[in-house]
Amino acid sequence: MKPSNEMRLQLESRSVNEGYARVAVAAFAAALDPTLEEVNDIKTAVSEAVTNCIVHAYPNEVGKIYIRVRLFEQGTMEIQIHDRGCGIADIRKAREPLFTTLGGDRAGLGFSVMESFCDKVRVRSTVGKGTTVTLVKSIRGRDATLEP
Amino acid sequence: MHTHIETDGQVMTVYLEGELDHHNAPAVREKIDEFAVGFHPTHTILDFGGVTFMDSSGIGLVMGRYKLLVQLSCTLEIRNLSTHAYKVMRLAGLDKIAALSRAEKKEAQNHETQQ
């Protein structure tokens, strides 16, 4: 399926960029007229994926994070967050709720949050090469919620 | 992110304002922990009324503070959650470790539109 609109964004893996990344993606999605709840869902899922790049993919260096957002007819959006970091050895384990390789205040719920706020979450990763997380969400929009 | 702490007797209330993410959480955590360890509250209230965004870093913040406060025999309450922050916290089962309450509906919407 051909996207009706597309944008790309490249960021350095600095935590200060988390806010910008989620706001930029949410702003691009504005064309689909999302509800406030949908905007929050998008922002939160993007925030989780970008945080993963910063914390896990590039733990001891500043690398690049590549974001591609595509909008499709009927209000589906696809957000791809890609890094060229360390990769994930066991994706299934990484996606398990409460699993985290880091201590401190990491809840281990990043993927759980992405999954509950999006319709589909795909993860592709190669150790030493990088990871691509694809989030798919269909936006019902404000019009749909106004109907009786 | 702005953190403001007030006390009333042995009750400590922490007012949080701004966007709670991985970038902002460490400073909030340090401020709360440093104060709690010195003050030894019996009850702590985290007031999320001014929080305009929250991801799973908010879950980590609450879970981490709960672990510390339990050691101080202190109970935890979380107030004025937006609909979204409430949804994120319920997802993590935080209602099992702390009393969660939402903001008045009108107020919650107001905070969310400020984003």
Domain total of chain A: 1
**Which residues on chain A are in Cβ contact (under 8 Å) with B57?**
51, 105, 107
Q: What tens digit of pLDDT does each residue of A1-57 get?
A: 899 999 999 999 999 999 999 999 999 999 999 999 999 999 999 999 999 999 999
**Helix, coil or strand: residue B92:** coil
Alpha helices in chain B (DSSP H): 25-39, 56-71, 83-91, 105-113
**Yes or no, beta carbons of A113 and B56 under 8 Å apart:** yes
Chain centroid offset of residue A39 CA: 13
A47 touches B: beta carbon within 8 Å = yes
Tokens encoding A83: 């890094």
- More confidently predicted of A130 and A106: A130
Distance (Å, rounded) from C-alpha B53 to C-alpha B31? Answer: 19
**Which residues on chain B are in Cβ contact (under 8 Å) with A106?**
60
Three-point CA angle B52, A131, A18, nearest 5°: 20
Element (H or E) spanning A143, and its range? helix A141-146
From the list A15, A36, A43, the residue facing B22 with the nearest CB is A15
pTM value is 0.91
Domain covering B2-113, topology: Transcription Regulator spoIIAA (3.30.750)
| Cβ proximity of A103 and A39 under 8 Å | no
